[in-house]
Amino acid sequence: MSMEQLIDKYFRPGRLPHIWCPGCGNGIVTGAIVKAIDKLALEKDSVAVISGIGCSSRASGYLDFNTVHSAHGRALPVATGVKLADPSLNVVVVTGDGDATAIGGNHLIHAARRNIDMTVVLYNNSIYGMTGGQYSPMTPYGSKATTAPYATIEHDFDIAELAKAAGATFVARATTFHTQLLVDLIAKGIQHKGFSIIEAVSACPISFGRQNKLGGPADMMKWQRDHAVMLPAWNKLTEEQRSGKFPIGLLYEVTDRKEYTEAYDELIARAQGGNK
Amino acid sequence: MSLKIITNRCKGCGICAAFCPKQVLAVNEVEKIEAVAEENCIKCGQCEMRCPDYAIFVEK
């Protein structure tokens, strides 16, 4: 299916153009989600897309699946409810760096800890874009923001390490430049039984790029190309060579940790003495 | 015609023009993308893959 047919098939008719700014990477990430779902040949009704609040979270309104546009930071609790109500659904959570790691930070670590089967696509544009460029917990250290005119003195989260430590069983990262990798990782994340998180490094040229003089949209994508390193190559780099760069690819995957809805069903059966 | 441009979706960000290996595309004075040298298009699909607005498609 051509990309144009994919858009016609999986987007709600009449909703485009979307509200994202010129050059915003969110459209590329949303396109990648659609391509991944198409690659897996999932029925539209078998997919639930849950989002919080923020630029990225607008995506659920454009997509023609079962969708919920929930409250700020609360996409994961809503998704947990949806998944428990119908464990056969493929639950995809669309969230941003601020939504997932600040307002919804607690929900993120606990959903990861439970290893509930869902796929979180975290659009990391390094900033709160919609509200005017305030720094988020994932704004790189030393960057400027409207709330940090002298540059932020707070260190940023490495979401991959955080999710891994919290108990996520599938952790990956790609960028909007590495489109095909992003599609493949989202598809793998959906197939993975357990809590999957894919960080999609996305450019915000208007609210982040301008304040930090990072150039135009294409320059920010070239920055991704020049600073992201595929995991096998990353593993061979020295600490010095790694400075300023970040790894992409499938960073972590384990399959021996019990999935939550499965454990929940077993618990019900046990509580009912096998008479479910 | 191998390039299909949906003008009302285009926001003129210029990503497609920057990544086009044959300089086929350019942002015009009303900040929309335009095929200025379509005869050079090799249908590589970079523009379609990178467009964040689903505004340009390569018809093969």
- Measured in whole angstroms, how far is the alpha carbon of residue B11 from the centre of its chain? 11
Tens-place pLDDT, residues A133-143: 999 999 999 99
What is the ipTM for the molecules in this complex? 0.95
Nearest-angstrom CA–CA distance, B18 and A246: 24
If you average pLDDT over every residue of chain A, what do you get? Answer: 96
Domains in chain A, start-ordered, CATH in brackets? 3-271 (3.40.50.970)
Q: Tell me the backbone φ, ψ of residue A11, rounded to 5 degrees.
A: -100, 150
Considering only the beta carbons, identify the residue of A3, A4, A217 that sits closest to B13. A217
For position A58, what pLDDT does the model report? 96
Total domains present in chain B: 1
> Residue B31: its chain A contacts at CB < 8 A?
22
User: In this structure, are residues A70 and A50 in contact, taking their beta carbons and an 8 Å threshold?
Assistant: yes
Count the residues in chain B.
60
Q: How many CB atoms lie within 10 A of CB A77?
A: 18
Tens-place pLDDT, residues B28-54: 999 999 999 999 999 999 999 999 999
**How much of chain A exceeds pLDDT 70, in percent?**
99
Tens-place pLDDT, residues A40-95: 999 999 999 999 999 999 999 999 999 999 999 999 999 999 999 999 999 999 99
* B56 in contact with A, Cβ within 8 Å: no
Nearest-angstrom CA–CA distance, A23 and A221: 10
Nearest-angstrom CA–CA distance, A109 and A15: 33
> Residue A176: its chain B contacts at CB < 8 A?
52
SS (H, E, C) A182-238: HHHHHHHHHHCCCEEEEEEECCCHHHHHCCCCCCCHHHHHHHHHHHEEEHHHHHCCC
Considering only the beta carbons, identify the residue of A22, A26, A176 that sits closest to B13. A22
Domain of residue B52, residue span: 3-58
**How much of chain A exceeds pLDDT 90, in percent?**
97
Tens-place pLDDT, residues B2-27: 899 999 999 999 999 999 999 999 99
Question: Closest residue of A to B11, CA-based?
Answer: A22
> Residue B19: its chain A contacts at CB < 8 A?
218, 221
* B8 in contact with A, Cβ within 8 Å: yes
Stretch A239-248: mean pLDDT: 95
For position B60, what pLDDT does the model report? 78
CA dihedral A174, A176, A180, A185 (to 10 degrees): 30
Q: Which residues of B34-56 are buried (b: 16+ CB within 10 A; e: fewer)?
A: bbeeeeebeeeebbbbbbbbbbb
Domain CATH number, residue B36: 3.30.70.20
Stretch A97-112: mean pLDDT: 96
Give this prediction's pTM: 0.96
For position A1, what pLDDT does the model report? 83
| Count of CA atoms in the C-beta half-sphere (13 A) of A108 | 32
User: In this structure, are residues A139 and A214 in contact, taking their beta carbons and an 8 Å threshold?
Assistant: no
